[in-house]
Structure 1
Amino acid sequence: MAEVALYTPDKRIRFTLPSPAEDEAIAKLRTDPINRRFLRFLPESVSAAQVAHFRETRSKDPRNLDFVISYLDDEGNYQFSGVCNVFLIDETHLWGDAGIWISSDRQGQGLTTPIMYLLLEHVIEQRGLHRISFQTGIDNAPMRGWLEKAAGIRNEGQFKNCWKEPAGGWLDVMSYGVTADEWVDRVKPTLQKKMKERGVGLPKEEA
């Protein structure tokens, strides 16, 4: 693939393609109880070897675009901070589903906005996708709040009994979507403003 590394304008967030170097970190990310609390249907145990197989399989499918997220620390080193992707990409209708996992030790640091900005900017403006959708459990208040309030991404409805719960029963899932026009006209300016306010992703606005 042509993409080697993507950066936010301030270089604090970097996307790279998954490699064997991150297999262990991704295995820990996927099994972290904090990260699994809203994705309870995922396996409780995942090995680095399983992550490697998953990575290699997905890399052969052109419908998947996976990135490793790194954050530039104060010492000038990029640290593993999570993963994000767009999957089930439809090249005919130019749409895909997006997902994001931020490491639990990086949550609450204002990284969701610049990560989503970089991902959406790339797939819409560079890859030419017309529409991106997001799905999250109805109980995932933090993600729903970010999509609805922070980013202003449109709520498209609720899927009844969509995800199977390991303990029994089913969970409703909320669906959100953003088109290329909505990205340019509303969502992108909103995220840029928030990044400037926080000083992450874009240079902080002077008082």
Structure 2
Amino acid sequence: MALTLTTRSGRIELRPPSAEYDAAVVLMRSHPFALRYLPNSPLTNTIEDVRALRLAILSDKNRIQFQIVTTDTTHDLVGSATLHRIDRARRSCDVGIMLREEYSRGGYATDALHAMMKHAFEEEKMHRVSFHTSDRNAPMRGWLEMAGAKLEGVLREAWPVGDADFMDCCIYGILESDWEQMVKPKLEERIDRLRSA
């Protein structure tokens, strides 16, 4: 079933992956901005790579992928977001997001992640949502801490970088009680403030 999520601001929506955006996804996934904290991603992507990944994700029952698209007349690709490692028995999943550089720092991640977590906690009935990010990804770590996610641990030298280096992976978690009591109100206040500015 194709699932589209509306966002609180209405500036963007989260849509199922579409071949229409494969070329834009190639550019996004190959851009140094996106690759700096994703050491396991290939440095270059082709249309065939992106198409194969899109089809694999669509057939994976433990992953829900979205393309973040503007709702204006351009319907421009802002980025992608994923619920993955969905474990319905344990009521847990991971969330990941990637934005195009020109859409960073504009509140789009907050809007998209709010919609993703709202879906995870309120529709999928998850008990916990986790985020894995590089210890070097200060913008994402700062966002998670601002939102109220708890740093649950650091996997030392978990992600290879090239042939001889490794980076640490930070694991953040949000429980459904955190979502209701702190994270959701904080994000909604932030989105509303940006919308009225």
When the two structures are superposed, what TM-score results if normalisation uses the length of structure 1?
0.91
2:94 maps to what in 1?
A: 97
Cα RMSD, aligned residues only: 1.4
SS in structure 2 of the partner of residue 43 of structure 1: coil
Q: Distance in 1 between matches of 2:135 and 2:167?
A: 7
Q: Which runs of 5+ in 2 are unaligned?
A: none
Instruction: Show the 5 A alignment for 1:39-50.
Output: 39-50=38-49
Shift of the alpha carbon at 1:78?
A: 2.2
Correspondence for 1:13? 12
1:167 deviation in Å?
A: 4.5
| Corresponding residue for residue 175 of structure 1 | 171
Any idea what the Cα deviations from partners look like across 1:51-105, whole Å, max 9, x if unmatched? Answer: 11111112111001000001234xx432110000011111110111110001111
Superposed CA offset, 1:6-33 (max 9, x none)? 1113421101100111111111111101
Q: Secondary structure at the match of 1:181?
A: helix
- State how far apart, in whole Å, the 2-side matches of 1:126 and 1:163 are: 32
Q: What's 1:28 paired with?
A: 27
Q: Which residue of structure 1 aligns with residue 60 of structure 2?
A: 61
1:156 deviates by: 0.6
Q: Secondary structure at the match of 2:76?
A: strand
Matching of residue 83 in structure 1 with residue 96 in structure 2: no
TM-score (norm 2): 0.95
Partner of 1:147: 144
Structure 1: which amino acid aligns with 2:155? F
Equivalent position amino acid for 1:170 in 2: F
Matches within 5 A, 1:123-162: 123-149=120-146, 151-162=147-158
Secondary structure at 1:128 match in 2? coil
The aligned residue for residue 110 of structure 2 is: 113
Instruction: Write out the 4+ residue segments of structure 1 that deviate beyond 2 Å after TM superposition.
Output: none
**Matched residues in 2 for 1:157 and 1:10: separation?**
32
**2:194 paired residue among 188, 192, 198:** 198
Alignment partners' CA distance in 2, 1:65 and 1:12: 21
Paired AA for residue 12 in structure 1: R
Distance in 2 (CA, whole Å) between partners of 1:18 and 1:2 is 9
Deviations 1:157-189 (A, max 9, x none): 111111011151211111000011110111000
Aligned residue identity for 1:138: D
Q: Secondary structure at the match of 2:39?
A: coil
Q: Supply the distance in 1 between the matched residues of 2:59 and 2:74 (Cα, whole angstroms).
A: 30
